[in-house]
Each structure stands twice: as structure tokens, then as C-alpha cells.
Amino acid sequence: MGIVNVTPDSFSDGGALLDPARAIDAAVQMVADGADLLDVGGESTRPGAEPLGAAEEMRRVLPVIEGLAARVRVPISIDTYKPQVAEAALGAGASLVNDISGLRYEPDLAKVAAKHGAALVLMHTRGRSRDMYEHAVYHDVVDEVLDELRESVAFATGAGVPPDRIIVDPGLGFAKDAAHTYEALARLDEFSQLGRPILVGPSRKRFLTKPFDVAQGKPRGETPPAERDWATAAAVSAAVFGGAHIVRVHAVREMVQVARVSDEIRKYHRGD
């Protein structure tokens, strides 16, 4: 899944794709590089980010989705938690809704997905972007995230979303410190208990810098996002070995190779 950030303040590439024509061209190149899906987002959800109004979010994303729908054949995802944005995006050509809140911000989003027959990604988080780390308190991070994702899945199916249209995401880095995130990634196979495909989004996130920034005596997170692709590759490989079905990344061309080779090794490991 290629990340198409149509925002001025994304942690990784804020502003780079704010122009719709530029965003469309970049996304088309992602497909040429091997992306199987595209995830278009208009609101940054990085820690500390301020909420964005629905009107401005639609102004950013709809021209990109409409343009991509005319140029690519891979599924297009709208990265939003707002029902009105999802409604407009699905009408413009998206076929998947990626909700970082697992329906905890705007529960009516499930009804929109059900109405359109759209696939729905339910990610785990707690709190909002500005205070998520205040909620990063767990006795057993994997067990608790599993329980909270089960609640999200049950709510979605209760609202009419067929189970086979639901994807789950443990939410690496969201309301989780680095240790929580590494544990969730290391125990990713346990998320198969949910019986749904698993999406993992490690790309360029701050938790990746803990092993090498600390080893070099630098504050964690000092290595800038654009220099975290090797670390991302390690996390992508671990995610594939752990059973991830989809990896959400910025550097598509490089991560396609990582994911496909990791998947090939995993096949032989399992004797498939």
C-alpha cells in the first residue's frame, strides 16, 4: 500500500504532494513501482497534530482520488475517520476506508462503508493525536490491543459491514511507546486470532530509530524520516514473517522488493 499524503504537515513528507497534479503523478509512479493499493490522506495524524475540518480535508483529497480513479486500476483507499469525507471519497472512486480510530472517533463511519460495500481498515489507537501517548499504558499490549480491535470489528459488523470486508491494523506507534510497538510487531502472528487480514504501517516511524539513535548517543528520533528506509525495511520484513497481508509504506519501489523476498522466504519456512 503506497502512502499518498496530501498534507502540508505529515511527519515524513509534509507538503511534498500538496499539489493534486503532483500527488497524482507520484501515486501513478507508485503503481508502476509495484503498489497494489494506494492510500490517500488529507489530514496528518502524527502525534501532536491538530484536527482538520471535513471541508478542507475533502478539498485536498477529492481531486487526487478522482484523478487516480481515471489513471490507475489498483484499489484506492481514503485515510479518514470522518463519515462525510469517506462518503465523498467513495463516490469519487475510492473503494476502501482506512480508519485510524477503529470507529472510536466517528462510529457512523461504519454505516458509510456498509452503504457503499467498501472495505474497512480498523486500526488500533487510544485518545487523539494530541494526547495519544498519555493513553500508552498496558499490562499486556498485545492482549489489550486484540480486545479493543475485537470491539471495533464487532461494532463494524453490527453496523452492516461484512466480516470479509474488514482489515485490522495493530497501529504501530499509535498510543504505544517504542517498547509496546516492538512487542506488537514481534507478536504480530497473534493478531491472526481475529480472523481478518492484517495491515501493518511501520514506514519511517519514530520507534524505528530507538536501536540506532540510542546506540550512537543521539536522542531517539533525531534521524530524520527520509533516512529511516533501511529501518523500515527491517520492520516490513518482520511484519511479513509475522503474517501481515498488507504493508503501508512511503518508499514503494524498495519495499516491494523487501516484502516479496520476505514473503518468498516465509513460504519455504512454512513448507507451503
pLDDT at 241: 96
HSE-up (13 A, CA, CB side) for residue 116: 21
Out of 60, 128, 176, 248, the active site residue is: 248
Whether the predicted pLDDT of 37 surpasses 70: yes
pLDDT for 15 beyond 70: no
Same domain as 262, residue 135: no
Verify that 170 and 220 share a domain, yes or no: no
Q: Rounded CA gap, 144 and 147, in Å?
A: 5
> Are both 131 and 211 inside the same structural domain?
no
Can 187 be counted among the known catalytic residues? no
pLDDT in tens, 71-87: 999 999 999 999 999 99
Task: Note the pLDDT of residue 218.
Answer: 74
- Tell me, yes or no, whether 169 and 231 share the same domain: no
Per the structure, how many domains does the chain have?
A: 2
Which range is least confidently modeled, 64-68, 125-129, 160-164? 125-129
What pLDDT does residue 244 have? Answer: 98
pLDDT digits (tens, 9 = 90+) for 193-228: 999 999 999 999 999 998 987 777 777 667 889 899
In this prediction, residue 18 carries a pLDDT of 66
Predicted confidence (pLDDT) at residue 173 exceeds the cutoff of 60: yes
pLDDT at 143: 98
Instruction: Identify the CATH number of the domain in which residue 97 sits.
Output: 3.20.20.20
Same domain as 152, residue 48: yes
The Cα 200–Cα 169 span in angstroms is 6
Please tell me whether residues 131 and 23 are part of one structural domain: yes
Q: Which SS3 state, helix, strand or coil, does residue 179 take?
A: helix
Mean pLDDT in residue range 150-168? 98
Q: What is the rounded CA–CA span in Å between residue 82 and residue 105? A: 8
If asked whether residues 124 and 216 sit together in one domain, one would say no
Q: HSE-up of 128 (CA within 13 Å, CB side)?
A: 10
Length of the chain counted residue by residue = 272
Same domain membership, residue 18 and residue 121: yes
Residues 264 and 130 grouped into a single domain: no
Rounded average pLDDT over 114-140: 94
pLDDT at 215: 72
Look at residue 50 in the predicted model and tell me its pLDDT. Answer: 77
Residues 167 and 52 in one domain: yes
Residue 97, domain extent = 2-198+245-251
What is the per-residue pLDDT across 57-115, written as a single tens digit (0 to 9) for each? Answer: 999 999 999 999 999 999 999 999 999 999 999 999 999 999 999 999 999 999 999 99
**What pTM value is reported for the model?**
0.93
Is residue 248 among the annotated active site residues? yes
User: 74 and 108 share a domain?
Assistant: yes
Residue 53 pLDDT exceeds 80 = yes
42 lies in the same domain as 77: yes
CA angle in degrees (0–180, nearest 5) for 144-111-175: 25
Catalytic residue among 165, 196, 205, 228: 205
Pull the grid cell for residue 250.
Answer: 512511503
Cell output for 6: 496530501
Q: What is the grid cell recorded at 175? A: 498510543
Find the angle CA(255)-CA(261)-CA(267) to the nearest 5 degrees.
135
CA 104 to chain centre: 16
Phi first, then psi: give them for residue 132, nearest 5 degrees: -60, -35
Give the distance from CA 192 to its chain's centroid: 18
pLDDT attached to residue 58? 96
Mean pLDDT, the chain, integer: 93
